[in-house]
Structure 1
Amino acid sequence: MAPSKLFIGRKIRELRDANKSTQAAFAEKLGISTSYLNQIENNQRAVSAAVLLSVAERFRIDISTFSTSDGDRLISALRETLADPLFGVLSPGLQELKLVAQSAPTFAHALLACHQAYRRNSEQLASIDDQMVRTDSFAQPTPYEEVRDFFHFVDNYIDELDIAAEGQATVLKVGKQTGVEVLAEHLEKQHGVRFASESTETGLLRRYDAKARVLYLSPYLNGPSRAFQLAFQIGSLEQRVEIDKIIARASFRTPEAEEICRIGLCNYFAGALVLPYAQFLTVAKELRHDIELLAARFGTSLEQVAHRLSTLQRLGHKGVPVFFARIDRAGNITKRHSAAKLQFARYGAACPLWNAYEAFETPGRIVRQLAQMPDGARYLSIATETSKRSGGFSAPQRRYAIALGCDVAHAEQFVYADDLKLAKSAAFQPIGISCRICERANCEQRAVPPLNQRLRSDPDSRAALPYVLC
C-alpha cells in the first residue's frame, strides 16, 4: 500500500509565523520556490520527504511534530457528525474532511459544538412532551462532555504535568521502592500531611481535611489504589499553579467543568507519578507490553497500566500508538482514548462484535481479537474483565471490561500477538465503530440502522434483520 500523502500546510504556516519570516525568505531557507511553499501552506500540494527533512534540520523540529494523529481524531468526529440525517445528501468525502481538519481545525470544532447543541435540544424536546418551558442550558455541552473533549483533543497527554511527575518520581525513587510508603512519607515531610483510615460509614474512598492536614483513605483500598490516591493528593498540593494555567488556557464554559478538569488533571499527575514516563516506556518495551507483568513490576492495577500505555505521546519519545477504553456491562464507554487511528464513537454504544464485551463472559482471562474496520484498517485488540469492591461480601461490586490494542503494524511488539496469524485476512473479524455510523450491510449483530442510509422492508420475507440497507 502506498504511503499516504502528508498535508501539513497549517503547521508549516504556524512555523513560518513563529519565525517571523515571509514566504519568500522561508522558501529560500528550505531551498524551494515561493509558489511551492504557498501551495504547501494552502494544502494544495503534499509536503515531500526532502522538504520535511529540510524543515526538521534547519529549524531543529522533531519530525513527529508533523504527525497527523490530531487530524485523525478530528476527522473521525466530523465523519460521525456529518452522518446525521440532518445533513441529508451533504456528505463530504474523506479528502474534503482532511482539508477542513488540517486547514481549519477551529471551524471543525465549532461545527462539532453546534451539532452537540442540536442533539441536546432534540433529545430535550423529545423528553418534555407537552412542557413548553426551555432554557439555553440544553444547548450547551455538559461539563463532563466538555472535559472529555478537552482530554481527547490534547491527545490525552499533558506535557507539563507528565514531566513534573517524572521528576518527582526520580527524586522519590518511585518504581524502585514501595509506592505507598514513599508517597506517604513525602506527604508528611514536605506538606505536614498524614494519612489515616476513613470511617467505613461514609463510603468515601478519599477525603482530605485541609485544616487538620489529614488525608483519610478507605481502609478497604488495595495497595495500587492507595498509592494512586496519595499521588493524587501530592499533585493537588504541588501542581496547583500549573493546573490553574492549563484550565485557564482551556477556556471552559462553567466553573463545574473547571473543577471536573482539575480532578482529571490531578488524576493524570497521579498516573504519571506512579508510572513515570521513561522508566515505564522502557519496561513496557522489554516486557512486550504484557499488562499483567507491568502491573506486577510497578505495583499498580491492570487498568492503570492500560490507561498509561495510551498516554505515551511525548514528543520525540513516543510509545506504540495504543487505544484504550473502559466499558461497563451496559455497554457504556466510561473511559476512552486512542493514540492510534481507531477512534471511538462520540454517541451510542460500541460495536457488539468487539471483544471487549466477551471479556465479561470470561472473568480473569485476557481475550484477544484481530479486528478489521470497514475502511480496511486492522487492529490487535485485547480485553479483560476487572472488578472493584469497596467493602466486604455485602458491598456492591463494580465490574468493567478494559480494552486496549494497536494497529496490526505494531502488533509484534505485543506478547499477545504471538501465535496469531497476522498475515491472513481470514483471521481478522469485521467490526465497526458503532452501528449508527457503520457501513456494513450484512452484519447480523446490527442493533440499529445506520443514520445515512435508506431502508427497504419486505413483509413477505425476513432475514436476520427486518430490513435491507439500500
Structure 2
Amino acid sequence: MAQRKIFAGVKLRALREQQKLTQAEFATRLDISTSYINQLENNQRPVTAAIMLSLAENFNVDVTSLLADKSDRLIIDLKEIFADPLFADNPPGLQELKSLATNTPQTAHAFMRLYEAYRKSNERMAGVDDVLMREQAGNLQTSYEEVRDFFHYADNYIDPLDRAAEDLAGEQALDGHDKMERLVKYCERVHDLTVEFVMPNKRDMIRQFDRTRRVIRLNTTLDKSTQFFQLANQLALLEQTSLINQILSDANFKRDEARAICRIGLANYYAGALLMPYNQFLKEAQAVRYDIEIMAQRFGASLEQVAHRLSTLQRPQLRGIPFFFARVDQAGTITKRHSATALQFARFGGACPLWNVHRAFESPQRIIRQRAETPDGKRYLCLAWASEKRAGGFRQPTRRYAYALGCEIEHASELIYSDDLDIGADAAFDPIGVSCRTCERRNCTQRSVPPIAAEISITPDERSVVPYEIN
C-alpha cells in the first residue's frame, strides 16, 4: 500500500502566524528554503518525516496533529451539499473539493453556512418549518446546528474541560463504587449544596436546582450512572463557569441561544469526563480491548456514556482509537452524532438503511456487528445495540434508541469484537453509504433517489427493484 502523503499547509501557516514569524524566519528555524516553506503552506508539496521531526523539536508540535486530516470530513460535507439538484448542471469534482477543503477551509465553512441559509430560506418560503418562520432574518442556521458544528470541528474533544474533570476525579478519588457518595460530599463541603434524591414531581423530571436554598434534587428512579452524570453536570455549571465562559467566547457564536445550548453541551462534556477520566479510561479501554460492557461495569456508566466517551479520546499525544458514534431513534433520525473517523453522517436527511444500527431494534440489549465498506473504499467494524430509557413507573414515558459505534478496519484487531471475524474477505463487507444522493453505488436495492453526479436511464418495458438504471 502506498504511503499517504501529508499536506498540512493551513496548519503550518497558522503555526507560523502564531509564532509571529515571516516565511523566511520560519524557513531558517526549520533549516529549509523560503520557497520550500511557500510550497508547503500552499499544499504544493507534502510534509516529510524530516520536517515533522524538525517541527516537533523547534516548536513542540504534536506530529499526530499533522497526521489528523480534518479536511476529510469537510470534503464529505461539501460533497453532500453539491449533491443538491441545484448544482446538477456542473457539480465540482473530487479534486476541486479537496483543494477547497485543504487550501481554504474557512471559505469552505462559509459556503456551508451559505448553503444552510439557502436551504432554510427555501423551507420558510414553502412553509415547511414553522419554527424557523419565527427566527429573525439572517439567522438561517439554527442554534442547534451551530453548536453541532462547534463540537464536530473540535473533534468532540475540549481539552481544558477534560483536564479539569480529570484533575477533580483524581483529587477526590472518584474511581470506586462509592464515587456518587464522594461527589455528594464534595458538593456539600465545597459548594454548600444539599443533594436530595426524590420521586419526580412531574413525569419527565431528571434534575432540579433550587439556587435560593442551594438544593439539588435528583430523580431517585434513575440509574446511578445518570444520577452521577446529572450531579456532575450541575457541578460544572457552578464550578467551571469561568472556563466555560472562555470557551463560549472563543467559539464566537452568533446568538445567545446558541451559547446557551453549547453551555449545556459543555457541562455534559465535563460530566462525562468526570465519570470516565481520560487517562484511566483510555488505559482500561486498551486493557479490556474496548469491551464496552466491561467498561460500563468498571466505571459505573451506561453503554451510551461509554461509547460517547470513546469518541472523544483525541487528546494530543495520547489519542485513542478514532471512533464514530451515533444515536438513532425509531424513525431513523440521528439525534446524536460524532465521528473522529473518515465516516461522516448525513447533515441533511437520514442514514443509510443498510447500516446495522437500524437492525438493532430487532435485537434489544444485544450487540450486533457489521463489517462495512463505504463507496470511497474505506472499511469499518460497526457495532450496534438498542436500549430503552425509562423514568419511573408503568405510565411513565419510555424512550427507545439504537446506538452505533465503530472504527476503521485497520484498528479492528485492537477490539475484542473482531476476534472471530474474517476481516480480510472482501465478500464479508456490506456496502453502506452516507446518503443516497452522494452514494455512487449502482446496484443498491435500497436506493431511494439517484446519485446526483450520475445520469439514469428508464426502460418502460423492464422493471427491477429500483425503477431505473444508473449510467
TM-score over 0.5 (shorter chain): yes
Structure 1 stretch displaced more, 443-452 or 32-41: 443-452
| 2:195 paired residue number | 195
| 1:238 paired residue number | 239
Q: Deviations over 1:13-34 (max 9, x none)?
A: 2222222322223223322222
| 1:405 paired residue number | 406
1:71 positional shift: 1.6
Contact 1:356–1:384, Cα closer than 8 Å, also in 2? yes
Amino acid at match of 2:225: P
Amino acid at match of 2:302: S
Amino acid at match of 1:262: R
| 2:11 paired residue number | 11
| 2:303 paired residue number | 302
| 2:374 paired residue number | 373
| 2:277 paired residue number | 276
| 1:348 paired residue number | 349
| 2:319 paired residue number | 318
d(CA) in 2 for partners of 1:68 and 1:93? 23
d(CA) in 1 for partners of 2:120 and 2:465? 33
d(CA) in 2 for partners of 1:241 and 1:444? 53
Task: Name the CA shift for 1:37/1:51 in 2 (closer, same or farther; >3 Å).
Answer: same
d(CA) in 1 for partners of 2:69 and 2:178? 36
Structure 1 stretch displaced more, 91-100 or 321-330: 91-100
d(CA) in 1 for partners of 2:215 and 2:304? 28
1:7 positional shift: 1.1
d(CA) in 1 for partners of 2:144 and 2:234? 22
| 2:446 paired residue number | 445
Amino acid at match of 2:455: R
Task: Name the CA shift for 1:135/1:237 in 2 (closer, same or farther; >3 Å).
Answer: closer
d(CA) in 2 for partners of 1:171 and 1:135? 45
Structure 1 stretch displaced more, 67-76 or 141-150: 67-76
Secondary structure in 2 aligned to 1:379? Answer: strand
Contact 1:309–1:322, Cα closer than 8 Å, also in 2? yes
1:199 positional shift: 4.8
d(CA) in 1 for partners of 2:23 and 2:78? 31
d(CA) in 2 for partners of 1:415 and 1:80? 34
Contact 1:84–1:451, Cα closer than 8 Å, also in 2? yes
1:452 positional shift: 3.5
The alignment yields a C-alpha RMSD, in angstroms, of 1.7
| 2:387 paired residue number | 386
d(CA) in 2 for partners of 1:148 and 1:227? 25
Contact 1:121–1:138, Cα closer than 8 Å, also in 2? no
Task: Name the CA shift for 1:35/1:138 in 2 (closer, same or farther; >3 Å).
Answer: closer
Does residue 331 (structure 1) correspond to residue 332 (structure 2)? The answer is yes
Q: Deviations over 1:49-89 (max 9, x none)?
A: 22222222222211012133322221211111122121234
Amino acid at match of 1:50: A
Structure 1 stretch displaced more, 195-204 or 292-301: 195-204
Contact 1:374–1:432, Cα closer than 8 Å, also in 2? yes
Structure 1 stretch displaced more, 243-252 or 278-287: 243-252
Amino acid at match of 1:108: A
Q: Deviations over 1:161-186 (max 9, x none)?
A: 00000000001111234221111111
Contact 2:373–2:379, Cα closer than 8 Å, also in 1? yes
| 2:95 paired residue number | 95
TM-score normalised over the length of structure 2: 0.96
Contact 2:177–2:300, Cα closer than 8 Å, also in 1? no
Structure 1 stretch displaced more, 258-267 or 19-28: 19-28
Q: Deviations over 1:183-223 (max 9, x none)?
A: 11111111111122345332211111111101111121111
Structure 1 stretch displaced more, 298-307 or 13-22: 13-22
Does residue 291 (structure 1) correspond to residue 292 (structure 2)? The answer is yes
4+ residue stretches of structure 1 with deviation over 4 A?
133-136
Amino acid at match of 2:61: I
d(CA) in 2 for partners of 1:283 and 1:432? 32
d(CA) in 2 for partners of 1:149 and 1:21? 31
Contact 2:409–2:423, Cα closer than 8 Å, also in 1? yes
Q: Which runs of 5+ in 2 are unaligned?
A: none
Amino acid at match of 1:42: N
| 2:33 paired residue number | 33
d(CA) in 1 for partners of 2:156 and 2:370? 25
1:128 positional shift: 6.3
Secondary structure in 1 aligned to 2:156? Answer: coil
| 1:123 paired residue number | 123
d(CA) in 1 for partners of 2:6 and 2:150? 25
d(CA) in 2 for partners of 1:57 and 1:128? 56
Contact 1:205–1:218, Cα closer than 8 Å, also in 2? yes
Secondary structure in 2 aligned to 1:348? Answer: coil
d(CA) in 2 for partners of 1:296 and 1:224? 10
1:244-283 aligned at under 5 Å gives the runs: 244-283=245-284
Contact 2:296–2:303, Cα closer than 8 Å, also in 1? yes
d(CA) in 2 for partners of 1:134 and 1:406? 40
| 1:174 paired residue number | 174
Amino acid at match of 1:266: A
1:135 positional shift: 7.0
Aligned length: 467
Secondary structure in 1 aligned to 2:200? Answer: coil
d(CA) in 2 for partners of 1:335 and 1:193? 32
d(CA) in 1 for partners of 2:171 and 2:139? 47
Amino acid at match of 1:34: T
Amino acid at match of 1:88: A
Does residue 23 (structure 1) correspond to residue 23 (structure 2)? The answer is yes
Amino acid at match of 2:208: R
Task: Name the CA shift for 1:100/1:238 in 2 (closer, same or farther; >3 Å).
Answer: same
d(CA) in 2 for partners of 1:452 and 1:135? 34
Contact 1:120–1:138, Cα closer than 8 Å, also in 2? no
